[in-house]
A and B are shown apart, each in its own frame.
Chain A
């Protein structure tokens, strides 16, 4: 540490290193408030936060990489990590973690930490976490005869049917936006599908596990339990939820705050959250490992300073402040206890769920494949095509999408074989 300080004071850049930090949406706004304290603690470092809207974030980062204009560090959606790691844009962090007194993988949710690990290398430190749980109307469920959310698929489906029976034709048991890929992905992971094969070379969509989840998912629309609507077609989710147009909704932690502020006061004790049911009960009810990580860019000239900022933002104190400012769920389990989130009834479901989360396949093509899965589902739901044929087509399509990846894998395997004798 003293060595570092003296280095900074001796100053190649006159004692001041300026860190460029990109953060997105609401997080970017709030981040500004956390920075002054860091700058006070580290007089040699100045931080420039650039706030980027979520919708432009991914494109902007890619363009920055292409144009050699990446920041020193950035918030990175943890499903993007494989892609940016494959590009070689991110700094491997193992070395830094080994020397850190603040960051240690045991302080984080295992499933979330895992999304940052590609091969054996860590490329990001979880900043805040995200997963999907069920938000539901307790009063509507009670009227249908359910005091709490079931934990198995079979019971869950029965519960939805009971809700639908007493709701009538214009109302539904659950809202599953037809344009969100998280829901079918989650169901598939619950049924034990790996989505892709072991090394991410081919799709596993016509396999029995995926088929089971697909049938369950599509069946909800077919039976009229879920409306065939995307989330742009529904004018206002909160209003419709308040009106009882649907009783359940699978969504993420940002809606804890939204539901509190947007639902009328008399509904506040009538909604709750529950971990997702699974095909065989509790333990199979896995969900998506999401959220954002902090990553340092390989091209940064100030990695040392950038890592110090990552450490600062990962301290329990800053995690608490960040949670209070954004409502985002903290990445460190310690902060969950110190903020009382563990025992708060509505966030408790997230606490339970975060212990059973799984990452989506760690291939750069994950999102394009996800949209193809949605389109396949749409062909069955809206187009009435048979699931078997659609899923076979999906596998063919995915095989074509992954062709480049297979070529890359084969080539790197070959080059390591040809290099082997020399070693």
Chain B
């Protein structure tokens, strides 16, 4: 039998890769390139009528973006959501995973399903219920606060609280998914390690700190990355709960993009928003990678 040369192998490899590459190229790279090109034009409702109405505007969309106060508010809101909501979701889901996974807990699968349920519930239905929970006058949240003597908070109507309310909802809605991954991660940790640590006299906290956490390392990185990417794309929660208000306090980058692009059809401008968001997420991923590499060293 003839052994194929490396050039032939390379050719065959490309052949096998072609379907996947062409799909990725068609549905990922092409749109990315197209939208980045779009961001240098003023494509809008008039352009739909007649392509001759499109102008090349260079960096003007980006200049306007940087000059627009709404953009900075949206950027700030998005960071607020990611930096507070992300870690909070991870902490809650890790906590829930530890509880559900604890050897003493009974009805494990029941709790697992219960905690996972919010994640698979339709957001629109959830949002309607939560809007009632948050209602200033009749809401359960304010009722609960009232019983301990705290004055009612206008959760969705007060610019200072609206984002916090959205974060709370998002944490509740999303922690179930990460919890499942954490449970899988926890179950992969060999029991002998805990036994050894126990025999060495390590208490529960030290077992968690020095056995669980390091062993969960890769899982933590994965969940962190997924959560971050997901949270940067905050859209549905404010879209159905607050429409970005009050005073723009819950307008996220994606919501801004949606408004500009699909409500006002200012596609060029919306593409610029998208591109900036893309760069922000990319930067964050690079930073996280860098930290991970330094950790590994």
CA distance A275 to B245 in the complex (A): 31
Structural contact, B264 and A408, CB atoms closer than 8 A: no
Q: Which chain A residue lies CB-closest to B139?
A: A235
Contact of A232 among B64, B131, B265 (CB under 8 A): B131
State whether A404 and B136 are in contact (beta carbons under 8 Å apart), knowing that A230-B157, A379-B247, A383-B247 are contacts in the complex: no
Tell me which residues across on chain A come within 8 A of B132, comparing CB atoms. 235
Tell me if A88 counts as interface (CB < 8 A to partner B): yes
Structural contact, B157 and A229, CB atoms closer than 8 A: yes
State whether A86 and B247 are in contact (beta carbons under 8 Å apart), knowing that A232-B131, A408-B53 are contacts in the complex: no
Task: Determine how close the nearest CB of chain B comes to the CB of A243; give it in whole angstroms.
Answer: 11
Structural contact, A83 and B45, CB atoms closer than 8 A: yes
* Contacts of A216-265 to chain B: CB distance below 8 A: 228-230, 232-233, 235
The segment from A31-39, A58-66, A131-139 found at the interface with B is: A58-66
Structural contact, A375 and B243, CB atoms closer than 8 A: no
Q: Which chain A residue lies CB-closest to B158?
A: A382
Task: Determine how close the nearest CB of chain A comes to the CB of B58; give it in whole angstroms.
Answer: 15
Contact of A233 among B45, B49, B156 (CB under 8 A): B156
Tell me if A364 counts as interface (CB < 8 A to partner B): yes
Task: Determine how close the nearest CB of chain B comes to the CB of A399; give it in whole angstroms.
Answer: 12
Task: Determine how close the nearest CB of chain B comes to the CB of A422; give it in whole angstroms.
Answer: 20
Structural contact, A59 and B135, CB atoms closer than 8 A: no
Tell me if A50 counts as interface (CB < 8 A to partner B): no
Contact of B264 among A66, A228, A230, A368 (CB under 8 A): A368
Structural contact, B159 and A408, CB atoms closer than 8 A: no
CA distance A233 to B159 in the complex (A): 13
Structural contact, A59 and B262, CB atoms closer than 8 A: yes
State whether A382 and B247 are in contact (beta carbons under 8 Å apart), knowing that A87-B48, A233-B157, A235-B138 are contacts in the complex: yes
Q: Could you give, for residues 239-270 of chain B, a 1 whenever the CB lies within 8 Å of some chain A CB and a 0 otherwise?
A: 00011011110000000000000111100000
CA distance A405 to B266 in the complex (A): 13
Q: Which chain A residue lies CB-closest to B264?
A: A368
Structural contact, A232 and B247, CB atoms closer than 8 A: no
Tell me if B46 counts as interface (CB < 8 A to partner A): yes
Tell me which residues across on chain B come within 8 A of A87, comparing CB atoms. 45, 48-49
Which of A233, A407, A408: most chain B Cβ within 10 A? A233
Tell me if B237 counts as interface (CB < 8 A to partner A): no
Structural contact, B45 and A382, CB atoms closer than 8 A: no
Structural contact, B138 and A404, CB atoms closer than 8 A: no
Tell me if A148 counts as interface (CB < 8 A to partner B): no
Q: Which chain A residue lies CB-closest to B67?
A: A400
Tell me if A18 counts as interface (CB < 8 A to partner B): no
State whether A65 and B44 are in contact (beta carbons under 8 Å apart), knowing that A229-B157, A382-B159 are contacts in the complex: no
Structural contact, A179 and B243, CB atoms closer than 8 A: yes
Q: Which chain A residue lies CB-closest to B135?
A: A235
Structural contact, B49 and A378, CB atoms closer than 8 A: no
State whether A382 and B135 are in contact (beta carbons under 8 Å apart), knowing that A86-B46, A364-B45 are contacts in the complex: no
Structural contact, B246 and A230, CB atoms closer than 8 A: yes
Contact of B245 among A59, A86, A230, A235 (CB under 8 A): A230
Interface size on B, residues (CB 8 A): 30
Task: Determine how close the nearest CB of chain A comes to the CB of B62; give it in whole angstroms.
Answer: 14
Tell me which residues across on chain A come within 8 A of B46, comparing CB atoms. 86, 364, 404-405, 408
Structural contact, A400 and B265, CB atoms closer than 8 A: no
Tell me which residues across on chain B come within 8 A of A86, comparing CB atoms. 45-46, 49
* Contacts of B22-66 to chain A: CB distance below 8 A: 42, 44-46, 48-50, 53, 55, 64
Structural contact, A232 and B45, CB atoms closer than 8 A: no
Tell me which residues across on chain A come within 8 A of B45, comparing CB atoms. 62, 83, 86-87, 364
* Contacts of A371-423 to chain B: CB distance below 8 A: 375, 378-379, 382-383, 400, 404-405, 407-408
CA distance A65 to B49 in the complex (A): 9
State whether A400 and B64 are in contact (beta carbons under 8 Å apart), knowing that A87-B48, A232-B131, A233-B156 are contacts in the complex: yes
Structural contact, A378 and B243, CB atoms closer than 8 A: no
Contact of B48 among A62, A179, A233, A367 (CB under 8 A): A62
Task: Determine how close the nearest CB of chain A comes to the CB of B236; give it in whole angstroms.
Answer: 15
* Contacts of B100-133 to chain A: CB distance below 8 A: 131-132
Task: Determine how close the nearest CB of chain B comes to the CB of A377; give it in whole angstroms.
Answer: 11
Tell me which residues across on chain B come within 8 A of A400, comparing CB atoms. 64
Task: Determine how close the nearest CB of chain B comes to the CB of A284; give it in whole angstroms.
Answer: 31
CA distance A88 to B52 in the complex (A): 14
State whether A404 and B44 are in contact (beta carbons under 8 Å apart), knowing that A235-B135, A378-B246, A379-B247 are contacts in the complex: yes
Tell me which residues across on chain A come within 8 A of B262, comparing CB atoms. 59
CA distance A407 to B137 in the complex (A): 50
CA distance A404 to B201 in the complex (A): 73
State whether A233 and B248 are in contact (beta carbons under 8 Å apart), knowing that A59-B262, A62-B48, A408-B46 are contacts in the complex: no
Q: Which chain B residue lies CB-closest to A383?
A: B247
Structural contact, B243 and A232, CB atoms closer than 8 A: yes
Q: Could you give, for residues 48-75 of chain A, a 1 whenever the CB lies within 8 Å of some chain B CB and a 0 otherwise?
A: 0000000000010010011000000000
CA distance A358 to B264 in the complex (A): 24
Q: Which chain B residue lies CB-closest to A407?
A: B55
Structural contact, A375 and B48, CB atoms closer than 8 A: no
Structural contact, B264 and A378, CB atoms closer than 8 A: no
* Contacts of B130-158 to chain A: CB distance below 8 A: 131-132, 135-138, 154, 156-157
CA distance A62 to B53 in the complex (A): 17
Structural contact, B245 and A378, CB atoms closer than 8 A: yes
Tell me which residues across on chain A come within 8 A of B263, comparing CB atoms. 368
CA distance A378 to B53 in the complex (A): 34
State whether A88 and B157 are in contact (beta carbons under 8 Å apart), knowing that A230-B246, A382-B247, A404-B42 are contacts in the complex: no
Task: Determine how close the nearest CB of chain B comes to the CB of A415; give it in whole angstroms.
Answer: 11
CA distance A378 to B157 in the complex (A): 12
Tell me which residues across on chain B come within 8 A of A228, comparing CB atoms. 157
Q: 9 A-B residue contacts at CB 8 Å?
A: A88-B50, A178-B246, A233-B135, A233-B154, A364-B46, A365-B264, A367-B264, A400-B64, A408-B53
Further pairs besides A228-B157, A364-B46, A405-B46: 13, Cβ < 8 Å: A62-B45, A66-B48, A88-B50, A229-B157, A232-B156, A233-B135, A235-B135, A364-B45, A378-B246, A382-B159, A383-B247, A407-B55, A408-B46
Interface residues of A (CB under 8 A from B): 59, 62, 65-66, 83, 86-88, 178-179, 228-230, 232-233, 235, 364-365, 367-368, 375, 378-379, 382-383, 400, 404-405, 407-408
8 closest Cβ contacts across the A-B interface? A87-B49, A368-B264, A233-B157, A382-B247, A66-B48, A88-B49, A378-B247, A383-B247
